[in-house]
Structure 1
C-alpha cells in the first residue's frame, strides 16, 4: 500500500501507477531523474545531455507529463519541464518490508541501462532490494556501516555488497547531503581488511 497525507484514493493509485511505470522502464526513470536534478530543462537539453533521439525524448517527456510526475513550467517556446517530487512508501508482497520510492531510487533504477552492477542487483533482488541497498549506501558514505555489515544483514556475499555500494556511490552524492566528516568510499574501502573488526 502507499502512504500519502490527506490525498484522495484516486490520487494515490495514480501516483503508484506512475511510479510503477518509471521503475519498469529505465530510460523513463533516467529522464525523470535528469529533470529532478536539473530543476528545469527543455526537451533539447534532455536530448543533448542524455543522448536521446528527438522522437524518443518528446515521447518520454509527454508520457511523464501525462503520468503527472512532470509539469510544464513554461509554455513559451521552447517549453520547459520540471519533475514533481515523489515520495511513496510501499510494502513488499510478503508484507515483511517497506521501502520508500524517492527520486534517488528512481535515478538508481534509471542507471541499470548503463551500469551492469545495478542491473544485476535488480535482477537478483528486485527494486525493493535496490531500495534497501541504497539505504546502506547512504549509511556507508556517512561512515556508519561497512560492506561486510551490509552483507551480513542481507545475507549476500561481501563482494556483491561492495559492488552495489560502489555502483550507488554517484547516486548517493547527487541526492543526499553527506557531511564532510563522514567517511568516503576511499576511507572505508581500504582493501580486504577495511575498518570491520572481524577477521575474514
Structure 2
C-alpha cells in the first residue's frame, strides 16, 4: 500500500502504522469507531458500551493515544477521550485502486467480529473492497444507486451486494448526514382495513 498526505513523511509513516493497527485488530477499530460516533467518553463509558474488561479497555485506550488516533479531551479524573479525524488515502495491493481510510471505514472494520456479513465481505474483498462498498452504501442511502447497480459494477451477486449494503447502513447513518429522499413507508397514509376490504 502506498499513502498520500499533506503531512511530513515521519507523520505519514506514524499515521499509516497507527491506522494499520486499527484495520488489523477489530477490537481496536471497535473502540475507535465507538468514540468517533459518540464524540468523547471515559474509559468507564467504553467498558459499559463495548463490554471490554477494565484492563483491556485501559490498554487499548493507551495504545490508541500513543498511536495518535485518540486524544485526551479532559485531563482531570475521570479522563475523557475522543477519536482524532482520520483521512488517509492508500493504494490497494492490486495497485489499481485508491481508497480513503475514514472513521466510518474503521467503524465498519470494528464491527466484523459482531457482524458476519461484514466479516465475510472483508474476507472475500479485503479492506479496499469494504471501502468501495461503504461508498456505495452512502450513495444508496442518498437514493443514487441500487444494490443491482453495485453488483453489476463490482461483479458480485445482487444478494451479496444487498447483504453488505444492509450491514453498512447503520454505519452510514452514524457517520454521514443522509437526507432521506421521498416518503418512507411510515409516512404513507394507509389504512389496513381498506386493503382487507378490497381482497
TM-score by length of 1: 0.89
Task: Report the RMSD for the aligned CA atoms in angstroms.
Answer: 1.6
Q: Distance in 2 between matches of 1:170 and 1:99?
A: 21
CA distance change for structure 1 residues 22 and 183 in 2, over 3 Å: closer, same or farther?
Answer: farther
Aligned-pair CA distance for 1:37:
1.4
**Contact 2:88/2:101 (<8 A) preserved:** yes
Query: How far apart are the structure 2 equivalents of 1:153 and 1:90?
Result: 21
Q: Which residue of 2 aligns with 1:56?
A: 56
Which is worse superposed, 113-122 or 30-39? 30-39
Displacement after TM superposition at 1:180 (Å): 2.6
Partner of 1:133: 133
Cα 1:58–1:172 change in 2 (3 A) is same
Partner residue in 1 for 2:88: 88
Q: Which residue of 1 aligns with 2:123?
A: 123
Supply the distance in 2 between the matched residues of 1:100 and 1:75 (Cα, whole angstroms). 31
- Residue 184 of structure 1, CA deviation: 7.0
Q: CA deviation at 1:72?
A: 1.1
2:123 and 2:177 map into 1 onto residues whose CA distance is 29
1:182 CA drift (Å): 6.1
Tell me the distance in 1 between the aligned counterparts of 2:165 and 2:155.
Answer: 15
- Would you say how many aligned residue pairs link Structure 1 and Structure 2? 185
Cα 1:32–1:185 change in 2 (3 A) is: farther
The CA deviation string for residues 144-172 of structure 1, in whole angstroms up to 9 with x for no partner, is 11111100100000100000000000001
**What is the SS of the residue equivalent to 2:140?**
helix
| Inter-partner Cα distance in structure 2 for 1:34 and 1:161 | 25
Task: Give secondary structure in 2 for the equivalent of 1:113.
Answer: coil
Q: Could you tell me which residue of structure 2 aligns to residue 11 of structure 1? A: 11
1:37 aligns with 2:37: yes
Unmatched runs of 5 consecutive residues or more in structure 2? 187-199
* Shift of residue 9, structure 1, vs aligned partner: 0.2
Stretches of structure 1 that go unaligned for 5 or more consecutive residues are: 187-200
Distance 1:16 1:183, change over 3 A: farther
Cα distance in 2 for partners of 1:149, 1:49 equals 36
Distance 1:63 1:185 in 2: 45
Q: Indicate the residue corresponding to 2:190 in structure 1.
A: none
Aligned residue in 1 for 2:191: none
Give the greater-gyration-radius structure (CA). 2
Indicate if the aligned counterparts of 2:3 and 2:88 stay in contact, CA closer than 8 A: yes
The alpha carbon displacement at 1:59 in A equals: 0.6
Q: Secondary structure at the match of 2:36?
A: helix
Do the aligned partners of residues 97 and 183 (structure 1) sit closer, same or farther apart at CA in structure 2, a change above 3 Å counting? Answer: farther
